Amino acid sequence: MTMDQQTGTATHEQIAARLRDAYRTGAVAPLRDGLETSDGAGAYAVQAINTRFWQDGGRRIIGRKIGLTAKAVQAQLGVDQPDFGVLFDDMRIDNGGILPAAAILQPKAEAEVALVLGRDLNDPHATAADVAAATDHAVAAIEIVDSRIADWKISFADTVADNGSSAFFVLGDDRRPLDGLDLYTCGMALEVNGAVASLGAGAACLGHPLNAAAWLARTLSTVGEGLKAGDIVLTGALGPMVTLNRGDHVVAKIGGLGEAGFTFEGA
């Protein structure tokens, strides 16, 4: 079937169900039969359907993840803004814990700065300074991303609909107040089995991790949601993603924030 023949035949509900099924049965083709590549509104509608479905099933939202914070990745997907997904309570892996191989399809890891809010932030004009004032602490983090789209052949709409290509995350144990932290020039090294696999800095995340979080706060506020006290915000990658292989031991080290790590379950 050609792409033209596929376009427009699937409803948002059908696409949402297809993505849910993919967690169990394996990755699916790009979602061109119901979403054009740049259809952000439709993709977020699909994401919202699955968010409600999972909440109704007992999963609890504990924060958000921000993606597409690198200008190079935005250009690759033909967009000029980041995207976001939902973090559920069962997506968190303990620092030093195990990522079960059976729970993931096409895993990649990226090092990030995580912010944990100390108070609500619901302001459609939120700035980086507003985010800083609302933040209780920052912590080193690893996001384990995954795609329910085969071979990671994603468009903007694919990744948004697929909950921002989210999967799991790890937070470090060192909780640092923002006072005295330099999240702009802080260096990042992501090590896999003791070797450096990715390098980056805070400035790689939309110019500053607080910029990314401010974008999220504004975006959520415009749809009447906002961020809440206690929310975890994964602000976006500080360097290139790294593909994972079973048995890999992954550690992210971020200047001023310490480290976070996990092991991808072996064969």
What CATH number corresponds to the domain at position 226?
3.90.850.10
How high does pLDDT run on average in the chain? 94
Whether 45 maps to a domain, the answer reads no
DSSP string, 154-206: --HHHHHHTGGG--EEEE-S--B-STT--TTT-EEEEEETTEEEEEEEGGGTT
CA distance 251 to 109: 10
Whether 47 maps to a domain, the answer reads no
CA distances from 124 to 15, 66, 130, 235, 242 (A): 30, 17, 11, 18, 34
Supply the Cα-derived Rg of the chain in whole angstroms: 18
Q: Which residues span the domain enclosing 133?
A: 60-264
Contact present, 30 and 149 (Cβ < 8 Å): yes
> Total domain count for the chain?
1
pLDDT at 266 > cutoff 90:
no
pLDDT bin (cut points 50, 70, 90) of residue 3 is very low
pLDDT tens string 151-180: 999 999 999 999 999 999 999 999 999 999
Contact present, 92 and 171 (Cβ < 8 Å): yes
Identify each DSSP E strand in 20-167 by its residue range: 61-67, 83-88, 92-93, 97-99, 108-117, 135-145
- φ and ψ of 45, to 5 deg: -65, -40
CA distances from 213 to 17, 122, 206 (A): 30, 12, 10
pLDDT tens string 104-143: 999 999 999 999 999 999 999 999 999 999 999 999 999 9
CA distances from 45 to 31, 41, 76, 165, 173 (A): 14, 6, 23, 15, 35
